[in-house]
Amino acid sequence: MMDTSEFEIQTPVIAGNWKMHMTPSEARAFGEAFAARYAPHDNRTVILFPPAISFAATAEALSERSDLRLGIQNIHWEDSGAFTGETSAAMARDAGARFVLIGHSERRHVFNESDADVGRKVDTALEHRLVPVACVGETLEEREAGRLEEVLLRQIDAIIQDLPGEHIERLVIAYEPVWAIGTGVNATPEDASSAHAVLRARLAERTDDSAARRIPILYGGSVNPENAPKLLAADYVDGVLVGGASLDPESFAAIATS
Ligand code: PGA
């Protein structure tokens, strides 16, 4: 449980990342269908990350559902300016976002975002009272070369290095092995647990054990209604970040209630 001064993050956290899917009309239809299939639960946090252009339609469709949270998929680190195509944290917050995905593997690998960019965006999100869902994860090549721990520590350090302890406690971390994203090959619950333990230990070094335990660490990569219960039951796994399976209201509702 994490107090963000406005609302508490109850774990498990079930987050849906729609990526570049869902037009505004589709988002509206999804909102209605999902609300009909998922009843409010007070023992978890369900978050949707629509594309920026479909954000308002999603918010409108879910306006009666104060239990559901919305997030934006990316922000720029500047507050405003000549940055064509970008969204600022203040804009996202004003539109109703409370969370922001930062450093998703597609941002890192397709759009060449560096660890430093990710760190700057995390700082900006926190300044604007958006909860960063900061993503880390190794490629298959890095895992096979025995570099899993080194990569995770480098990425998490870039996220937390400039943050005071009380800001670190406001993060959500998502471990998403790149080889598991969109491939249908999910990490085993044991793989997720051991990666999460590495991250949790690093967070504890910078805060303390009990603060580090309260920072939700989500697993992402080919989560579906069948594997979600086992992943959610794994040690140190406090939630899931779901891509493909979050596009179908029925399967996302099944994951959200698992
Ligand atoms: P996937 O995507 O569930 O489609 O593998 C996960 C993600 O990229 O967040």
CB of residue 181 inside a 6 A radius of ligand 1:
yes
Among all residues, which ones are annotated catalytic? 104, 176
Count of H-run helices and E-run strands, the chain? 12, 10
How many A from CA of 181 to the centre of ligand 1?
5
| CA of residue 53 to ligand 1 center, whole Å | 20
In this prediction, residue 5 carries a pLDDT of 54
Check if the beta carbon of residue 220 is closer than 8 Å to that of residue 174.
yes
Burial level of 42, CB count in 10 A (0-12/13-18/19+)? exposed
Query: In whole angstroms, what is the distance from residue 203 CA to residue 205 CA?
Result: 5
Nearest to 160 by CA among 220, 207, 216, 226: 207
According to DSSP, residue 135 is labeled: E
pLDDT at position 76, please?
98
Q: Provide the sign of the torsion angle of the four alpha carbons 71, 121, 23, 25, taken in this order.
A: positive
pLDDT string in tens for the chain (258-residue length): 444 557 889 999 999 999 999 999 999 999 999 999 999 999 999 999 999 999 999 999 999 999 999 999 999 999 999 999 999 999 999 999 999 999 999 999 999 999 999 999 999 999 999 999 999 999 999 999 999 999 999 999 999 998 998 899 999 999 999 999 999 998 999 999 999 999 999 999 999 999 999 999 999 999 999 999 999 999 999 999 999 999 999 999 999 999
| 114 Cβ neighbours under 8 A, 6+ residues apart | 108
Q: What is the pLDDT, as a whole number, of residue 229?
A: 98
The reported pTM is 0.96
Q: Is 231 in the pocket of ligand 1 (CB under 6 A)?
A: no
Question: Ligand 1 mean position to 146 CA, how many Å?
Answer: 23
16 lines ligand 1 (CB under 6 A): no
Q: Are 131 and 170 in contact (CB under 8 A)?
A: yes
Q: Whose alpha carbon is nearest atom 1 of ligand 1?
A: 243
Instruction: Name the 3-class secondary structure at 220.
Output: strand
Residue 220 CB less than 6 A away from ligand 1 = yes
Residue type, 91: M
For 79, list phi and psi in degrees, rounded to 5.
Answer: -80, -30
* pLDDT score recorded for residue 214: 94
CA of 219 to the centre of ligand 1 (A): 10
Task: Tell me the C-alpha distance between 210 and 212, whole Å.
Answer: 5
Q: Which are the contacts of 199, defined by CB distance < 8 A and separation ≥ 6?
A: 136, 152, 156, 173, 175, 217
Question: Which helix (H) or strand (E) element contains residue 16?
Answer: strand 13-17
Whether the CB of 137 sits within 6 Å of ligand 1: no
Q: Read off the pLDDT of residues 48-81 as tens digits, 9 standing for 90 and up.
A: 999 999 999 999 999 999 999 999 999 999 999 9
What is the H or E stretch that residue 204 is in?
A: helix 189-206
Nearest CA to 18 out of 60, 57, 45, 44 is that of: 57
Q: How far apart are CA 127 and CA 101, in angstroms?
A: 15
Nearest protein Cα to ligand 1, atom 2: 243
The per-residue pLDDT for 65 is 97
Ligand 1 contact via 182 beta carbon (within 6 Å): yes
Minimum-distance ligand 1 atom for the alpha carbon of 174: 9
